Amino acid sequence: MRRAVIVASTRGPADVHGVHGTEGLTHWTCLARRPGLLGGWEAVEWACLPPGAVSGEHLHTRTEEVYVLLSGRGEISLDGRTVRVEAGDVVLTGLGTRHGLRNTGPEPLEWLVIEMTAVKLPAQHPTHPTHPSYPSYPAGPAPVMRSTVVTNLRRVGSIDPSVVLSGPLRRLRIVRLRPGERAELAADAVEHTAFVTAGGGRAAPGGAQTGELRVPLAPGTALTLPLGTGAVLTAGPDGLEYLHAVLAVPGAAEGGGAS
Q: What is the DSSP string of 87-153?
A: TTEEEEE-TT-EEEEEE-SSS-EEEEEEEEE-----TTSTTSTTSTTS-----SSS-B-SSEEEEEH
Average pLDDT, whole number, for the chain? 84
Mean of pLDDT values over 17-21? 71
User: Within a 13 Å sphere around the CA of 230, how many CA atoms are in the beta-carbon half?
Assistant: 18
Question: Taking Cα atoms as reference points, which of 100, 128, 130, 120 lies closest to residue 26?
Answer: 100
142 pLDDT band, cuts 50/70/90, is very low
- How open is the CA angle 197-118-173, to the nearest 5 degrees? 25
Q: Which of 32-36, 94-98, 114-118, 171-175 has the highest mean pLDDT?
A: 171-175
202-231, pLDDT tens digit by residue? 999 875 555 566 899 999 999 999 999 999
pLDDT of amino acid 126:
43
Task: Flag the least confident range among 40-49, 74-83, 110-119, 126-135.
Answer: 126-135
pLDDT of amino acid 207:
59
pLDDT of amino acid 259:
57
Report whether pLDDT(130) > 80.
no
| CATH class entry, domain 13-157 | mainly beta
Q: pTM of the predicted model, to two decimals?
A: 0.85
168-207, pLDDT tens digit by residue? 999 999 999 999 999 999 999 899 999 999 999 999 987 5
